[in-house]
Each structure stands twice: as C-alpha cells, then as structure tokens.
Amino acid sequence: MSQLQQRIEQVIRADVRQMHAYVVQPSAGMVKLDAMENPFRLPPELQRALGERLGAVAINRYPGERLDVLREALARHAGMPDGHALVLGNGSDELISMLAMACRQPGATVLAPVPGFVMYEMSAQLQGMPFVGVPLRPDTFELDERAMLAAIEQHRPALVYIAYPNNPTGNLFDDAVIERIVQAAPGLVVIDEAYQPFSSRSYIDRLARHEHVLLMRTLSKFGLAGVRLGYMMGRRELIEEIDKVRPPYNVSVLNCEAALFALEHDDEFARQARILRDERQRLIEALQALPGVRPYPSEANMVLVKVPDARRTYEGMKARKVLVKHMGGGSPLLANCLRLTVGSPEENDLMIAALRDSL
C-alpha cells in the first residue's frame, strides 16, 4: 500500500471510502431527459439581457446585501407568510445537508417515505444519522399512513421529509395524511416543493399553521438548474438556527443576480412550465397507448413508467441517443420502472419513438 493510501485510510472515514461520488451521466449528443431539467433556453433577447446583467456584477467582492434583495424577491414570489424567514442554499441539496448538520446528535434520526429523493438519506448518512425509509404503498405510491405514524412513534425523528410532489414517483400525497403526519412529528417536517412549478397544489397556504414545518423550494426545475439556488422558508426563530450552519458566502454573486433576473422574468418561466404541463399530459397519453407500458399520474416534470423489461428499454433508448433514468437497483416498488423527464415537444416525440422501439 502506498504511503498516500495509508494516509487516506487513517484519515478518511471508512464509510466515506466505501461511497461513490455522484456521477453525472455523459450526455453529449443525446436527448437528455434523465434529470428533470427544463429543456428550454431563454429566448435570445433575454439571454443577452442576462449576459449584460451578469457582466456588470462585481465579482471581486464577496456576496453581500444583494442577497437580501433576492431573499425578499423570493419571499414575494412564493407568498411567504408573516413571521417567517428564508434561508438560501446552493441548490436545495445544500439545504438538505445543512438540516442534517444542524440536527445531528445522538439518537436523532431522519425519516422519509421511500422511494424518495436520495439526498435525504445521503445527507443523514454523511452526518452519521440513522435514516428510516418507510415504503410507499405499492402501485399508487401513496403514503402508508399507518406505517408512517408507527415509524414516527418508534423513532421520534428529528427530521421528516415529504416531497410534494414526490421524486421519482411524480405524485402529490394525500393532504389529510400529510396533516396527520405533521401533527404526529415530534421534530421538524420539511415539505420539499422542488416540483412546485408543475404541480396543481402547494403547501404554502398551510405553512403558517404549523411552527415546526419548513417549506423548501428550488429554482432548478423552474428553469435554472445550472444556477444552483434553493431556498427554505419557516418560522423566523427556526430559520435563524439553521442559518448558523450555512457556509458563509454559499450563494455566489452570479447565482444571486441570475436568480433575480429570472424572478423579474417569471412570466417567461411560467409560460415554459405551462408547455411542459401540457407535454406531460401528451406524453402520458402516448405511453398509455403502448402495449405493456404503464405510466403513473404525475404532478411534476417527470413521468414514472413501468415497462416489461426496464433494463432492455433503457439500453435500447440509450442506443437511440435518448437518455432517461433507469430506476433499477433501488426500491423493489420501482421494479421495471424508468423515470422520464418531460422535455420539449420535439424531444418528447424522440423519446416516445425510442421507447416504443426499445420495448
């Protein structure tokens, strides 16, 4: 063993050494429909205006008061209730890490329905916190209320995550069940609305009812995945505590200015979201017409679909230059499932044809 290897083994945690770094699949030359990105670029005149705005930013200074302007703009955009505050993250991924960091202590656990967004578990694991995954109901992917309440009673989790809509299943959970989970949770409940631009419901109007609920959103699915900006709203006292573990200057001056620009032009992003919602419906109908293919209902910019042989279909689609997400290897509930991001009308046509030819 080399000296460096020995040093690595002494210093780097064994569980970290066993992990794999997050891999972004190579996608050059492919129709990229694996990561719930918005397929639309900005119209050329807006892209130019954005370039001018970013060109005028003083990059020699650390981020400062401009972030206050961004927080206010986001609070207005979201309709944040009085008495609440907002913390920014470099994507909501960072907020999820911050939450685990702030809540880690002996006995503290993180609980979420599974299948769900992988970062809930990964952030817990990295902080050495046990993660409790409670299976969704097979087929409907609804919350299993009894199992959730029993797990909450047993583990008394510090953090409960509810993605609303859920990734990778795309559905909104039953509101009455969420309410009872919120009431039963002894710690914090995070409602993750990453897919809010495509959803018919939001938790925002219920946020003020519960002082232990945090509402998390991101600009990624809105159309700014490359910008990296997430935000989380909650009672001021609570947000102030979480803000203490935020790395200083976590949101760059460029992220900040690009996000402000996007909010000033939110009508354009709303227009894009409308197209994607219509496309989602068209995609679901096209998939329903294919024999042996079962798309699940979705309120997000993705559609989970069951096919006879997901590995074969995934590989066939890849060979036809369409990249989607194969859900194999995860939850048994997702056997033979692919997760399709809703793309532009042209991309969706290519995806449907590639899927049909790869069954």
Pairing of strands 159-163, 188-192: parallel
Stretch that binds ligand PMP, among 65-73, 90-98, 205-213, 234-242 (CB under 6 A): 90-98
Q: How far apart are CA 223 and CA 210, in angstroms?
A: 30
Amino acid letter, residue 187: G
Amino acid letter, residue 336: N
Two tokens, residue 80: 């944040």
Binding ligand PMP (rule: CB under 6 A), the pick from 39, 91, 197, 343 is 91
Q: Interface residues for ligand PMP in 230-249 (CB under 6 A)?
A: 230
The sign one gets for the Cα dihedral 12, 16, 19, 25 is: negative
341 binds ligand PMP (CB under 6 A): no
Q: Which is nearer to ligand PMP, 286 or 334 (CB)?
A: 334
Stretch that binds ligand PMP, among 60-68, 75-83, 89-97, 137-145 (CB under 6 A): 89-97
Q: Which is nearer to ligand PMP, 73 or 225 (CB)?
A: 225
Other CB atoms within 10 Å distance of the CB of residue 56: 8
SS3 294: strand
Q: How far apart are CA 136 and CA 330, in angstroms?
A: 13
DSSP-assigned letters across all residues of 198-240: G-S--SGGGGGG-TTEEEEEESIIIIITTT--EEEEEEHHHHH
Stretch that binds ligand PMP, among 18-26, 41-49, 87-95, 128-136 (CB under 6 A): 87-95
**What is the pattern of x (binds ligand PMP, CB under 6 A) and - over residues 18-37?**
------------------x-
194 binds ligand PMP (CB under 6 A): yes
Binding ligand PMP (rule: CB under 6 A), the pick from 39, 80, 92, 350 is 92
295 binds ligand PMP (CB under 6 A): no
Q: Which is nearer to ligand PMP, 100 or 194 (CB)?
A: 194
117 binds ligand PMP (CB under 6 A): yes
**What is the pattern of x (binds ligand PMP, CB under 6 A) and - over residues 213-232?**
-----x-x----x----x--
169 binds ligand PMP (CB under 6 A): no
β strands within the chain, DSSP E: 31-32, 84-89, 110-114, 131-135, 159-163, 188-192, 213-218, 230-235, 294-295, 302-306, 322-323, 325-326, 337-341
The binding site for ligand PMP (CB under 6 A) comprises 36, 91-93, 117, 163, 167, 192, 194, 218, 220, 225, 230
